[in-house]
Amino acid sequence: MPLFIANWKMYKTYDEAISFAKDHHEELVSLSKNGNQIIISPSFLCLDQFCKIFKGSSVSICAQNCSTKQSGPYTGEVDAPSLAQIGCQYTIVGHSERRHLFYETSYDIAAKIELLFQNKIVPIICIGETIATYLKGDTVNVLREQLESILFITKQYSLAYCIAYEPVWAIGTGKTPNSQELTDIFQWLSETVNDPKCTFLYGGSADEKNSAFLLQIPHVGGLLIGGASCNFQTLKKIVSLGQID
Ligand code: PGA
């Protein structure tokens, strides 16, 4: 059952996001069936409305981040308990944009995962190498390092989670790893993580032209889609390619 996570980043304003949800509500709900699961990740400000609009439907809602802290004097932060209270079922953590632009560390990411588990929210944990690492052939070492603090936490909980492999050099660039590279990485990930609670996702320039190819890579259980997910017709094409019947 492929997961399709629409990571809207900061692409849509509040009004644009709400219009998208209202205009395409019915089609999104019917697309999120027959073996497909659509998960929409709008900005924080839209989450409450989205949870209400899609309440009780087959479409799930995902936050793009959360605080490392449960509560307290942390101006501008958003706590995991509040995300759970509004009905948010998933949260992205460790996205490379957070790691590189906002200096998030492995410790921050581990703390967020723990808080999400405590609040019964499924973490979508992003890992991936930079272009420099890729060119040096050092990808697996970097992924192993990124996984270390994550697996330390996930082993302590019996709850489901996702690991999204997103090469930094593939995000928003139109480039993707080739079939052999993806096959090798996902095989290595599945052996290294070795956990039936984990669903593996691919992210980085996934679109309607390459999604069928990406979804047939062994161990890929879905896609984390940025830019291409902002257009309804494109998202529809991507999801339709994962349709089982
Ligand atoms: P992209 O982004 O699909 O626009 O490359 C993916 C992501 O950053 O999650």
**Considering the chain, what is the average pLDDT of its residues?**
96
Give Cβ neighbours of residue 99 (< 8 Å, ≥ 6 apart): 105, 109
Atom 6 of ligand 1, residue of closest alpha carbon: 226
SS3 106: helix
Out of 176, 205, 231, mutate this one to test ligand 1's pocket (max ligand atoms within 8 Å of CB): namely 205
Each residue's pLDDT tens digit, 6-45: 999 999 999 999 999 999 999 999 999 878 999 999 999 9
171 CB within 6 A, ligand 1? yes
d(CA 203, CA 62): 16
Q: Ligand 1, atom 9: nearest CA belongs to which residue?
A: 226
Instruction: Output the pLDDT for position 245.
Output: 43
Residues of the chain where predicted confidence (pLDDT) is lower than 70: 242-245
CA of 73 to the centre of ligand 1 (A): 32
pLDDT at 241: 80
Element (DSSP H or E) covering residue 164: strand 161-165
